[in-house]
Amino acid sequence: MDSLTHAALGACIGKLMLSKPLGKNALLWGAIAQNLPDIDGVANVWLPVSESLLAHRGLTHSLPVALVAAAGLAWIAHRWQRSSGVSVWQWFVFFAVQLCLHDLLDTTNAYGTGLLEPFSHARFSVHLLYVIDPLFTLPLLVSTLVLIGYNRRYTWGRAWAIAGLCWALAYVGAASVSKAIASRGIRESLSAANLSGTHFFATPTPFNSLLWYVVATNEPGYAIGYRSAFEKPEHRTAFTFFPQQKSLLSGVYTSAEVARLIEFADGYYTVERDRLGLGINVLRFGQVGGWQQPTAPFTFRYQLGNEINNRLVVQRGRFEGWSQPVIAAYVSRIFGDNHVPPN
């Protein structure tokens, strides 16, 4: 999730765990602690892009590492804040909860999180929340702002923190129900398209957990479509085929750069050659307006041999072409309108 979401979540947890000895400082401690795993972002300064993609949400997002880090941070915090009366054990539990929750929350996005590093390089993702989801974040942020301005240390202050956390938990539950409904329609649509038994994943489209971007394996490529939780059960999702074109990597397939990209893609990638040269699309990040234009380009396109142009590869083109009419059509599509006009 984004840093603001983590900060608001951490502040609410800080209120519940350490507000009695630390007062409002518990909010700041919580906001900082909850964002600590994202320190791996500094790797972008010196690592090549293909390496930094795997470094992010890797070792610093590991649960075993979180427990070790919590112990070290607890010792430092205890020495620094000895007068607060917070024991080393309290600090350890506080940091362990914050760091582990950050890691687990990040698994709800499409990026993939290395929860078991360094013992396993497997990446985990349950595809429930978009990395920026206002409906998930705003109630947490409201609770945090109230807590910052609240003058009384106990009573209703804790209730605001609990309310924010309950909303976050309820939203994850609602997203799970939404995905289950959409997945049922996806399976029936795949069966109708003679793709029964095909492996697929569904991940949220931008800013919501109601419209799902679907990628289904369809050798020698992938079938891609979109499904809203509000669509009628009998409606069949339309799929567009994209060939993988793995053969285009002949001669470069064994390079370390390509190997890292394939690992990062978790096997879901296509290869294209255009005026910019040879590029690899990582399908997990969706298309640029694909819900409106089925053949739209993919958001994540890594240009081989072009380090500079790949610096913003995760964000590049994600919101390209978003205008007021496009947004209005997008909202209609989210709520089950299958007749969105092409862009």
More confident residue, 317 or 121: 121
DSSP 209: S
* pLDDT for 343 beyond 70: no
- DSSP letter, residue 154: S
H helix or E strand, kind and range, residue 302:
strand 301-303
CB-CB neighbours of 297 under 10 Å:
17
| Measured distance CA(226)–CA(238) in Å, rounded | 8
Lowest mean pLDDT among 46-50, 153-157, 209-213: 153-157
- pTM for the whole thing? 0.92
Mean pLDDT of the chain: 90
Q: Residue 331, Cα to own-chain centre: how many angstroms? A: 21
pLDDT > 70? residue 308: no
Radius of gyration of the chain (CA): 22
Of 131 and 319, more confident: 131
Confidence of residue 96 (pLDDT cuts 50, 70, 90): very high
Give all strands (DSSP E) within 181-284, no chain letters.
200-204, 211-218, 221-228, 240-243, 269-274, 277-282
Task: Name every residue whose Cβ is closer than 8 Å to that of residue 181 and which is 6 or more positions away in sequence.
Answer: 229
Question: What separation in angstroms does the CA of 332 have from each of 123, 176, 190, 296, 328?
Answer: 34, 21, 24, 19, 6
Give the pLDDT confidence of 52-85 residue by residue, as tens digits: 889 999 999 999 999 999 999 999 999 999 888 8
Amino acid sitting at position 93: V
Q: How confident is the model at residue 307 (pLDDT cuts 50, 70, 90)?
A: low
CB 285 within 8 A of CB 314: yes
In this structure, are residues 46 and 27 in contact, taking their beta carbons and an 8 Å threshold? no
Name the token pair of 231: 């669509």
Q: Encoding tokens for residue 109?
A: 């996005």
Distance CA 155, CA 235 (A): 50
Report pLDDT digits (tens) over 216-225.
Answer: 998 899 999 9
- Per DSSP (E only), the strands in 93-210 are 200-204
**Two structure tokens written together for 274:** 């255009």
Q: How many Cα atoms within 13 Å fall on the side-chain side of residue 122?
A: 7
